[in-house]
Structure 1
Amino acid sequence: MNSSTINPQDSLRISFAPLSLEEVYNLADDPANGAIALMSGTVRQQTEGKAVRYLEYQGYEPMALEIFRQIAATIRQQWTDTNRVVIHHRTGRLQIGEISVLVAVGCPHRAEAFAACRYGIDTLKHNAPIWKKEFWSDGSSTWVSIGACEENTVRL
């Protein structure tokens, strides 16, 4: 599959609008699925001991969507029974508790769904041109490339 081609069963999106768990789950659902693995990244109230007021996400949308397409294509190559891939990321100002990213993968079996979903979010975080600005309770702020986040440190 050419990386610029999207499988018609997949949904890849960047949006200013709030993301919907129900919508993403429904987009990942398929009668052939035995499992849907869904990862939801949310804005947390504290990072490395500092109180967060809110986050602002920006991204280079054409390139980010191409990265999403590459992720979906790789998932389909590596886990060949994959039925659906959904990757939605939000931009703009997000408050504590709001969803910033949703990745869902529907497969016949749970092991491949989990593995593919983890690959999807980890690769997105390291490769997508998406940045967040953390606004701290002390009035300071810091820009962070999502790719700069450590694998075991969830910063979304």
Structure 2
Amino acid sequence: MDEGEDEPRNFIKVTHEKLSTDDVSQLVISPCCGAVSIFIGTTRNSFEGNKVVRLEYEAYTPMAEMEIRKICSDIRQKWPSIKHVAVHHRLGLVPITEASVIIAVASPHRSDSLDAVKYCINTLKATVPIWKKEVYGEEKYAWKENKECFWTKQNNV
């Protein structure tokens, strides 16, 4: 494979489909990279003493994808060696133990890919308009704000 065939790419997907770690990791693998770092955010069964039975996510997909593209652009400015970035986020119902978000980053060396993955998930939670509803036993629920979100801080929400 020559250099031109493996140009840096972003793989962004906001979907109601179940996410696959294998599929996401395969998107970013490159012969010039020795590191693929992956973050998988899954639904846990409890939060602050409440039994969680599932999560439900909603988003305005075009805006969410646009904000994720901005994050990918920021990553490339901060870590120029990054080759490929994949960010897949699930919408709708996400049962316990299943993935809500998978982020994968490929780079020549592990340090950049690890730092970029951490930056990506933290920035995604703070800026991307994806809303999470935590559903508890007996069908009680709570919409969860992202405490890191810039608009929540600005408006003292």
TM-score by shorter chain over 0.5:
yes
What's the % identity of the aligned pairs?
38
* Aligned partner letter, 1:14: V
Q: Measure how far apart 1:82 and its partner are.
A: 0.5
Structure 1 residue runs without a partner (length 5+) = 1-6, 151-156
What's the offset of the Cα at 1:144? 1.3
Moved over 3 A (4+): none
The residue number in structure 2 matching 1:64 is 64
Greater displacement, 81-90 / 132-141:
132-141
TM-score using structure 1 length: 0.87
- Equivalent residue for 2:129? 129
TM-score by length of 2: 0.87
In structure 1, C-alpha distance between the alignment counterparts of 2:135 and 2:23, rounded to whole Å: 29
Where does residue 93 of structure 2 map in the other structure?
Answer: 93
String of CA shifts for 1:11-61, please: whole Å, max 9, x gaps: 001000000100100011111111011000000001112100111100111
Q: Please state if 1:140 is matched with 2:140.
A: yes
Q: Which residue of 2 aligns with 1:154?
A: none
Q: CA RMSD in A?
A: 1.5
- What's the offset of the Cα at 1:126? 0.5
Counterpart AA for 1:63: M
1:26 has 2:32 as partner: no
> In the alignment, is residue 42 of structure 1 matched against residue 39 of structure 2?
no
Kindly indicate whether the alpha-carbon contact (under 8 Å) linking 2:8 and 2:84 is maintained by their aligned counterparts in 1: no
| Counterparts of 2:135 and 2:96, CA distance in 1 | 11
Deviations 1:130-155 (A, max 9, x none): 0111111143111113x3269xxxxx
Alpha-carbon distance between aligned partners in 2 of 1:44 and 1:10, rounded to the nearest angstrom: 28
